[in-house]
A and B are shown apart, each in its own frame.
Chain A
Amino acid sequence: MLTVVRSAPLLTVQDRGRFGYRADGVSPSGPLDPLALDVANALAGNALDAAALEGCLGGATFRAERTFTFALTGAEVAATCAGKSVASYATHTANPGDELIVERIVRGAAWYLGVNGGIDTPVVLGSRATLIAAELGGIDGKPIRNGAQIPIARKLAKPRARTAVPKELRAALDTDPIPLTPAPRSDALTEHDWDTFYRTTFTVSRASSRIGYRLEGARIASRLAADLASEPACAGAMQLPPEGNPIVLLAEHPTIGGYPIIGVVPAFALGRFAQCAPGTMVRFAPMTIENAMNARARERAALSQWIAQD
């Protein structure tokens, strides 16, 4: 058991997501930064389908009610356990009564607390991921409040000491352009408008959430009619509303989107984009489907290789 003494602005239970129910109107949810969740689980000695805690937009304070091994990944944070500084991307042990304090986010938007055994909230439709919009999964489908008791599953074997997490498996938290792959309505922009788009530096709006991030910078004009039928959406889908500020949908996106989808942030870059907290400046760069698949394959191979190394 883990007690939440002081919750983060947004703290939820997340696993890799709830797949298979889009046709029922249920989006997969899951982590904003999928690779950071995987690495948190690996460091904590869990299988990659275990659930962990995702903290967004600020720190949180926990109290250990029993001994457990844990790891923090994702956003760069200032954290302590029992008064001692805790480095992210490394395995640590908390003893009963210890306070684990994520003081604040230094850089990034979402951090992950992986706990040996995994967070043991009920499985709903095959997943523990919280989908706030539908109140599914996690703790009553809601953001975790102060005082909440978080169940941890039975301890697994203590994770073996791992080699340091390689750089490519850590949250990049950099300012490189975010790749954008083609989507069904990529033709909404003329070549000239795409040039403008790729030259624009956008700012992630304060009006952002796990549903999606709104981008401000240039108003992008669509040359399409306004009455087009809604089409299915996915995490990473960039929608263009009539007012011209693009929205990139994230984990809790609606299954069908009302606005034309002009591009998709590919899976391997989704975490890097989601770590751009409100106020961060972002640019985009075009990428082919093939390059996106190759980048994804390289990321998965690097993860498997690192996990297999120990």
Chain B
Amino acid sequence: MTAPAILPLGETALTIRLAETASIEVAEQCAEIAERIRAAGIDGVREVVSAIASVTVFAGDRIPVAGLRAELERVLAHTPSGATTTRTFATHTIPTRYDGVDLDEVAERVKLDRDEVIRRHASREYRVLSIGFMPGWGYLGPLDAALALPRRSTPRTRIPAGAVAIMGAQTGIYPRVSPGGWNLIGTTNAVLFDATRTQPALFRAGDRVRFAQIS
């Protein structure tokens, strides 16, 4: 692959930019690079965050960012493009009741019947493109293009924990009660974030996610 840009994020972090815009392939590659940097055990790397088209490496206080750049270049030079190799990303199955308050409206707006909306949402495997927005929130994609809808014009002030939602080319699950503007199509009992777990977020960037309909 062509060497991605390594850009300073102030004096405490470096951002490796793989692409300007989002795509599944790039997100997968970001997740892979993040795992490789973690696995490399580079002195001074405090945290690694994988976003949809970039990876940011946070340095500890004592390590000059300049030395870190050379280490990252070395890891990048040894990362093959394409198939992931360091580890098998986890596959999660999310039991989902398709009872979201917006389901009928979604069906109407995309001109499909309700069961077809459910079938299309539940019939594919998604990748966790990145974790962000709030603890444990995973941006999952790609959503069936026929289901693409914009954010709701007026966000809700209170969305329940476990709400399964869609927006644009993505789907996601609200980890906790929060405000939000995505279209709600279902609910799950899966615990997306639990501060008592060693890895508090259920998902990691790069993981695979399936929704299984339950009644």
Contacts and interface: CB of A to CB of B under 8 A. Distances in A.
B49 A237 contact: no
Given A229-B19, A255-B49, A134 B54 contact: no
Between A261, A267, A293, the greatest number of chain B beta carbons within 10 A of the residue's beta carbon is seen for A293
A264 B19 CA distance: 21
Given A24-B201, A25-B201, A230-B51, A266 B10 contact: yes
Contacts of A134: 134-135, 176
A19 B47 contact: yes
Interface in B1-46: 7-13, 15, 17, 19-22, 26, 34, 46
A6 to B, nearest CB: 28
A230 B195 CA distance: 25
Given A20-B47, A231-B15, A25 B131 contact: yes
A28 B22 CA distance: 26
Interface stretch (B57-65, B113-121, B182-190): B57-65
Between B7, B26, B136, the greatest number of chain A beta carbons within 10 A of the residue's beta carbon is seen for B7
Nearest to A232: B56
Interface string A211-236: 00000000000000101111110101
Contact of B58 (A22, A25, A230, A264): A22
Nearest to B64: A293
Contacts of B26: 229
Given A25-B134, A25-B136, A256-B133, A184 B9 contact: yes
A23 B204 contact: yes
A133 interface: yes
B11 A23 contact: no
Chain A contact residues (Cβ within 8 angstroms of B): what range?
35 or more
Interface in A240-262: 254-256, 261
A124 B204 CA distance: 20
A256 B49 contact: yes
A133 to B, nearest CB: 7
A227 B20 CA distance: 9
A135 B12 contact: no
B15 A229 contact: no
A228 B18 CA distance: 12
A194 B8 CA distance: 18
Contacts of B131: 23-25, 255-256
Nearest to A261: B9
A20 B9 contact: no
Given A23-B204, A256-B49, A229 B10 contact: no
A24 B20 contact: no
Contacts of B137: 25
A135 B177 CA distance: 11
A20 B200 CA distance: 11
A182 B50 CA distance: 20
A237 B51 contact: no
A267 B11 contact: yes
Contact of A21 (B21, B50, B132, B200): B200
A255 B15 contact: no
Contact of A23 (B17, B47, B52, B195): B47
Nearest to B47: A22
A296 interface: yes
B205 interface: yes
Given A24-B199, A125-B195, A182-B8, A300 B61 contact: yes
Nearest to A229: B53
A24 B172 CA distance: 15
Interface in A124-179: 124-125, 133-136
B54 A234 contact: no
A86 interface: no
Contacts of A236: 10
Contacts of A265: 10
A229 B51 contact: yes
A256 B200 contact: no
Given A26-B135, A229-B21, A232-B55, 7 more contacts: A24-B131, A24-B135, A183-B9, A230-B130, A255-B132, A264-B11, A293-B65
12 contacts: A20-B46, A23-B201, A24-B200, A124-B195, A134-B176, A228-B21, A229-B54, A230-B51, A232-B15, A232-B51, A256-B132, A267-B10
Interface of B: 7-13, 15, 17, 19-22, 26, 34, 46-56, 58, 61, 64-65, 130-137, 176, 193, 195, 199-201, 204-205
Interface of A: 19-26, 124-125, 133-136, 181-184, 225, 227-232, 234, 236-237, 254-256, 261, 264-267, 289, 292-293, 296, 300
